[in-house]
Homo-oligomer: A and B are copies of this chain.
Amino acid sequence: MASRINVGVLGLGRLGRVYASNLAHRVPGARLLAVADTHAEIAEAFAKEFDVPRWYGNHHDVFADKQVDAVAVLTPTSTHKEVVIGAAESGKAIFCEKPIAMSVEDAREMLTAVEKAGVFFQPGFQRRFDSGYIAAMKQMEAGVIGTPVVLTSTSRDPFRPSLEFCDPKVSGGLIADMGIHDFDIARMYMGGIKSVYAVGGTLAYPEMKSIGDIDNAIISLVFRTGTLGAVHLSRNAVFGYDIRAEIWGTKGSLQIGYYRQTPILVMTKAGISHDVVPYFMERFESAYLAQIQNFVDTLLRGGEPAVSGIDAVEAIRVSHAATRSFQEQRIVYLETE
C-alpha cells in the first residue's frame, strides 16, 4: 500500500465520532478521506468540522470510492454482517468494532467472505491496547508471576444505559454486551475456555425486567488447561467506571486497573477522598487511539492483524454460552475452538 492509508469511517454515533476524530488528526499514516452515516447531514457536518474531503449518506458509496483503502465499521451491530461483507467484496481493508456480529454463524460467514476476498480484517477490542493490559502481558511473558492459574476480569458501568440500548435484541443482553471484552481478555491471557457458569439478576434497576435483561452477573470460567476464571459484570458502579483484571500465578499476581481520575486528594474531617474515572471514553481514550493506530500501522508495514477473526468469533461464542448458562441455570461446556 501507499505511505498513507485513505480511510473511510462508517457510522458516526458516539464511538464512530471517536474513531473519526482520531483518524482525522491523531493517527500518523492515516488520512480520513471519507465519512458516512445514514443521516447524511451528520456526515456532512462532521466532514466540515474536521476538514474531511468527502462525505456520504450510505456505506455503498464508500465502497464505490476507489480512493478509499480501508474502512472502519462503527455502524449498529445488526448491520455489521452486510457492511463487512460488502466492504470485503469491494476489496477494502476492514476494522470492525466488537461484536462483529449478533451470532456466531453470522460472524463465521463474514470471516469466510473476508477470506475469500483476501482483505485485511481486524476486529475491535480496545482493551488489548490499554497500557495496563499490555504491561500485564509483558510481565506474564517475562515470567514475573510464574505460571498463571487464575484470572478475574471486571466490567462495571456507572449507570444503566437506556432501555432501548440495553434491549437484548439489540445489545445481546448484559453478559454478551459487556462481558465480551472480559471473555476476550480472558482468552488472551489464559487461552481457550472449556466451560462457563453464569449467575445473574435484575437487582438494581427493576425496570430492566420489562426488556428481559439483567443488571448484574458473575460468570465462572474453567479454561482448557484447567485454570480458573471469574468475570464480574454490573450496571451499578454508581461512583464511576470499574474496569479491572487480576491475574494470579504461581510466583505472583498482576492487578490491572485504576479508579482515580483527577490528581488531587481532598482531606477534611469527613476523611480523605478522590474522584473516579467516569466512563469508557475517559478510561480508554488512549487505547482507542492506539488500536486504530495499530490497524493503520499494520496495513502500512504488512503483517497479521493484532486481533484475529477467530478472536472475534470466540468472544461471541463464549458470551453466548455464558448467556445460555444463565438462562438455563446450568453449566455450559464449549466445544474446542
Contact = CB atoms under 8 A, between A and B. Distances in A.
Interface of A: 24-26, 28, 49, 130-132, 135-136, 139, 144-145, 147, 149-150, 152, 156, 197, 199-201, 203-204, 216-218, 220-222, 226-230, 232, 234, 236-240, 248-276, 329-331
B149 A204 contact: yes
B236 A216 contact: no
Nearest to A26: B25
A312 to B, nearest CB: 25
A327 to B, nearest CB: 14
Given A220-B199, A220-B218, A264 B149 contact: no
Contacts of A238: 250-252, 268-269
Contact of A331 (B131, B197, B232, B273): B197
B197 A220 contact: yes
Given A28-B49, A239-B270, 13 more contacts: A131-B261, A149-B201, A150-B218, A150-B232, A150-B234, A200-B228, A201-B228, A203-B228, A238-B268, A239-B271, A258-B263, A259-B272, A273-B273
Given A149-B203, A228-B201, A255 B267 contact: yes
Contacts of A249: 236
A229 B42 CA distance: 45
B276 A267 contact: yes
A251 B267 CA distance: 9
16 contacts: A132-B264, A135-B264, A144-B266, A197-B220, A199-B222, A238-B269, A239-B267, A239-B270, A240-B267, A251-B269, A254-B265, A255-B264, A255-B265, A258-B260, A271-B273, A271-B274
Nearest to A243: B263
A20 to B, nearest CB: 13
Contacts of A269: 238-239, 251-252
B266 A132 contact: no
Given A256-B263, A264-B255, A248 B271 contact: no
A171 to B, nearest CB: 20
A229 B204 CA distance: 15
Contacts of A236: 149, 248-250
Contacts of A265: 254-255
Contacts of A204: 147, 149, 250
Contact of A237 (B197, B203, B234, B253): B253
A276 B260 CA distance: 15
B216 A201 contact: no
B136 A272 contact: no
A248 B203 CA distance: 11
B197 A197 contact: yes
Contacts of A218: 150, 220, 228-230
Identify the 5 closest CB pairs spanning chains A and B, nearest first: A25-B25, A252-B268, A132-B263, A273-B273, A149-B203
A136 B266 CA distance: 8
